[in-house]
Amino acid sequence: MVNEPQDDNVFKQRLKNARELREMSQAKLSEKSGLPASSIAHFEAGTRKPSFDSLRSLANALQVTTDYLLGRMDTIDGTGTDRLHRHMAKLSAEDLDMAENFIQMLAKRNADSKKAK
C-alpha cells in the first residue's frame, strides 16, 4: 500500500528501524553502503537528508525499498503478498544473505536437473 509520508521524522525513524532490524551498527551500515558513518548518524538524527544516490545506497545495503525508507510504503520489502517475501522483513542482514545463497543454490540445482533430462 502506498502512503504519503506523514512528516519529516519518517525517514530517520525508518532508517534506524531497518538498520536495527538487520542487526547492523551505524559503522556496519556505513561499510555496506559506502557512506561515511557520520552521514548515517546525521540522517538518523534528522539533521541531514540523503541525496538520491545516498538513499539508494542505504536501501540496497539494508535490503529495503526506498519507498519504505521515505514512508511511502508500509512493508519493508515492498511486497507484502509473496509467501517467501513476507518473512524477509524479519531477518537480519546475515540471514538474508544466507537465504539468498540458499535460493540461488536451489535455482542452480533445478537448472542442472533440467539439463540432465
Which of 6-15, 21-30, 78-87 comes out lowest in average pLDDT?
78-87
Closest to 35 measured CA to CA, from 10, 60, 68, 7: 60
- Would the pLDDT of 84 be above 50? yes
What's the predicted TM-score (pTM) here?
0.66
- Residue 114 has a pLDDT of 74
15 vs 48: CA distance, rounded Å: 13
- Structural domains in the chain, CATH included, are 9-116 (1.10.260.40)
Task: Characterize 56-74 residue by residue with b for buried, 16 or more Cβ atoms within 10 angstroms of its Cβ, and e for exposed.
Answer: ebbbebbbbbbbbbbbbbe
* Sequential DSSP letters for 53-69: HHHHHHHHHHT--HHHH
